[in-house]
């Protein structure tokens, strides 16, 4: 009893325990909340595309030590009592996209991520604006680069390579840009269905080729470098799509619309040789 009393006298009183979480938890929680808000803000400025949403989701999970799981049923044998194949959700983790893959307009100054080429859309738009062509083009993005199509086309008389109509002002602007800037132009010739020349010597393919070649020569005579002009022809195999205003046109008007040469601009010529590889491994 005396020993026990002596031990009790030696023990110091414990500090009064304060209820609740320690103080540092509040600061940590604020930091986590601010990080989450930052990622949500970035996502709100992004284009609403499923790929970018998954990229943001993967980056957030990766930042907190998680993984993105492959979704959907996969065949996994030996999972049922009788050892027969069973469809189960996959639990195999995949590495999420890094946050750099997000293209945030006005926040992240990144190139487009859906293209393999190094074409810069900003530079291309600047060139078009400089030569007052921005209202006369349609721009499309593809994995291999950016395609700029001139809305105005050159139309031809039936069975002839003589022009039936051209927007001279747009044509001059186009020639001026091609002469002063590093662009490649594809001159694409077409013909109407079953069209032949007046003397019956040329079919639709030969007519479309002659039309495209005539326009290409015209560009070169006006100062466009010959190595920047690619001549393409399709005969009558690619008629204008009958949509929008085209649906209200007569058959004669549709045939006239198909007797055309159109222009496609690119910064990168697809005929340029790439890195040579062996045809075998």
- Residue 165: give its domain's CATH number: 3.30.1330.60
Q: Which domain holds residue 33?
A: 22-101
Residue 276 exposed, middle or buried by CB count within 10 Å (0-12, 13-18, 19+):
exposed
Asked, for residue 10, whether it belongs to a domain, the answer is: no
What is the residue whose two structure tokens read 């609740």? 20
256 and 183 both lie in a single domain? yes
Task: Confirm if 192 and 253 have CB atoms less than 8 A apart.
Answer: no
3-class DSSP assignment, residue 263: strand
Separation CA 192–CA 187 (nearest Å): 17
Asked, for residue 157, whether it belongs to a domain, the answer is: yes
Asked, for residue 182, whether it belongs to a domain, the answer is: yes
Asked, for residue 92, whether it belongs to a domain, the answer is: yes
Residue 17 phi, psi dihedral angles, 5° rounding: -70, 130
252 and 142 both lie in a single domain? yes
258 and 125 both lie in a single domain? yes
What is the residue whose two structure tokens read 């030996």? 78
Per-residue pLDDT tens, the chain, 281 aa: give them: 555 555 555 556 666 666 777 778 888 888 888 888 888 887 777 655 565 566 666 666 666 555 444 444 444 444 455 555 444 444 444 444 444 444 444 443 444 444 556 677 888 899 999 999 999 999 888 777 788 999 999 999 999 988 877 778 899 999 999 999 989 999 999 999 999 998 888 999 999 999 999 999 999 999 999 999 999 999 999 988 877 676 778 888 888 889 999 999 888 776 666 677 778 76
Rounded to two decimals, the pTM is: 0.57
104 secondary structure, DSSP code: B
47 and 153 both lie in a single domain? no
What is the four-CA torsion angle of 51, 55, 56, 59, rounded to 10 degrees? 170
Residue 74 phi, psi dihedral angles, 5° rounding: -135, 155
Task: Confirm if 208 and 192 have CB atoms less than 8 A apart.
Answer: no
Task: Confirm if 154 and 134 have CB atoms less than 8 A apart.
Answer: no
Domain count, the chain: 2
Q: Residue 219 to residues 100, 136, 225: CA-CA distances in angstroms?
A: 42, 18, 8
Boundary (domain end) residue, out of 71, 101, 131: 101
Separation CA 34–CA 40 (nearest Å): 10
Boundary (domain end) residue, out of 101, 135, 154: 101
45 and 97 both lie in a single domain? yes
Q: Residue 280 to residues 103, 120, 248, 277: CA-CA distances in angstroms?
A: 37, 33, 53, 9
For residue 164, what pLDDT is reported? 76
* Ranges of H-type helices in the chain: 2-10, 24-45, 50-63, 121-130, 168-180, 204-221, 251-258
């Amino acid at each position: 009893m005396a020993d026990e009393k002596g031990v009790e006298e030696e023990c110091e009183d414990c500090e009064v325990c304060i209820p609740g979480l320690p103080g540092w938890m509040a600061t940590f929680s604020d930091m986590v909340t601010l990080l989450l808000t930052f990622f949500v803000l970035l996502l709100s400025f992004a284009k609403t595309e499923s790929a970018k949403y998954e990229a943001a989701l993967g980056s957030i999970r990766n930042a907190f030590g998680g993984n993105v799981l492959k979704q959907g049923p996969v065949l996994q044998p030996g999972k049922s009592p009788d050892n027969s194949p069973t469809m189960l959700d996959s639990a195999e983790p995949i590495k999420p996209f890094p946050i750099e893959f997000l293209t945030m307009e006005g926040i992240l100054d990144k190139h487009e991520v859906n293209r393999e080429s190094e074409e810069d859309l900003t530079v291309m738009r600047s060139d078009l604006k400089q030569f007052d062509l921005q209202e006369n083009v349609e721009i499309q993005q593809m994995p291999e680069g950016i395609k700029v199509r001139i809305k105005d086309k050159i139309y031809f008389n039936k069975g002839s390579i003589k022009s039936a109509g051209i927007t001279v002002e747009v044509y001059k602007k186009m020639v001026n840009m091609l002469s002063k800037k590093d662009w490649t132009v594809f001159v694409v010739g077409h013909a109407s269905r079953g069209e032949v020349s007046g003397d019956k010597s040329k079919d639709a393919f030969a007519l479309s080729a002659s039309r495209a070649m005539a326009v290409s020569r015209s560009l070169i005579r006006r100062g466009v470098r010959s190595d920047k002009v690619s001549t393409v022809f399709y005969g009558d195999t690619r008629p204008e799509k009958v949509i929008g205003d085209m649906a209200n046109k007569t058959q004669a008007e549709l045939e006239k619309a198909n007797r055309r040469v159109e222009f496609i601009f690119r910064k990168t010529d697809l005929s340029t040789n790439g890195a040579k590889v062996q045809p075998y491994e």
